[in-house]
Amino acid sequence: MKKTAHLRRLVPLLAAACLLSPLPIKAAEVSSWPAGQERRISSDDSQIQRELSKFAELPNSRPERLDRYAAWAQLYPKRKAEAVVFQVNLDLDREFYETPEEAADPANLMVLVNKHNILPADYVPELEALGADYGSGALRPEAAQAFRAMAGAAREDGVTLYSVSAYRSYSRQANAYNRYLGQYSRKTVDTFSARPGHSEHQTGLAVDINAASRKAHFEKTPAFAWLVEHCAEYGFILRYDQGKEAVTGYRFEPWHYRYVGVETAQSCMKQGLSYEEYLGLQPESGEEPGLTPAFMPESIPVSVMEGESIEV
């Protein structure tokens, strides 16, 4: 009901946007509408409303993104509504860093921090040192406990896990990012280093394990194999996987893990979903179950990370 009401409010807005947009939904249908005149719901609107309903009816549609779904569908008219909604939920209709949204609740364990979502510069989570046996740094208490439990279980399997980088403040991230800018172009730096405020390390929920460098080839180690198999049991996910670059905005980082809680982690790891994809499939109402990957469109563009070869 709520969605329908929102849809009704949006129709005149969208019709107005069509007059201004270079990609009108149905230019002919709205071109006779004189600017500034009160708009009444007519049969023309019902066409637009029908278009929008296709998006609004999907369980994972976001009412505040209906206009973006419509615009994306205009660009890719052959894509199904499911694909349109999912891709816009992933912010694929926006350039990285174009219009970042500040996290409304930075302390939420499920917080999404990426190139479209930013943390306040002064946000500092509650932190707990991991302890000398577990490498350097601190995480939020929930994540710190989970990390120690995970490292303990790995040790029993003969695998050593330790943190090489955990929480990082806004200013520390700014220093790191700027240092890389002295070595590489911004375009290249953006493929492996987050701009300040956009780093998951500032959440206190992300940790680099055993390595933080491509040169180390961590993906070829038994520790990596162990993590892929078991990290979800402790609430962690491999955050920047291969093949997900267009969604996450980063090159493959086999060492970077994010704490999201056991249930979500198992969902992501079992289904091979990036965190963005997992969230993009979640229904608007928490009462409905998450959608399955079968619902996912096949046509997600996968960009090859460009830029000079890097040694970091």
Q: Which residues of this protein are in contact with Zn ion, per CB under 5 A?
A: 208, 256
**Residue 118: left (phi > 0), alpha (psi -120 to 50), or beta?**
beta
Of the chain, the end-to-end C-alpha distance in Å amounts to 51
Least distance in angstroms from the C-beta of 250 to Zn ion: 9
What is the DSSP pairing of strand 117-118 with strand 236-240?
unpaired
Q: Which of the residues 51, 200, 253, 276 is marked catalytic?
A: 253
Select 44 or 208, whichever has its Cβ closest to Zn ion.
Answer: 208
Q: Which is nearer to Zn ion, 193 or 267 (CB)?
A: 193
Q: CA-to-CA distance for 72 and 223, rounded, in angstroms?
A: 41
Question: In which element (H, E) is residue 52 found?
Answer: helix 43-56
Give min distance, CB of 270 to Zn ion, in A.
23
Closer residue to Zn ion (CB): 116 or 256: 256
> How are beta strands 138-139 and 206-209 bridged, if at all?
unpaired
Q: What is the DSSP letter of 244?
A: -
The Cα–Cα gap between 92 and 110 comes to 20
Cβ-closest position to Zn ion: 256
How far is the CA of 124 from the CAs of 80, 241, 252, in angstroms? Answer: 41, 27, 27
Min separation Cβ 310 and Zn ion, Å: 15
Query: How is residue 242 written in tokens?
Result: 């291969």
CB of 206 to Zn ion, least distance (A): 6
Catalytic status, residue 253: yes
Nearest CB to Zn ion, comparing residues 49 and 202: 202
Active site residues: 253
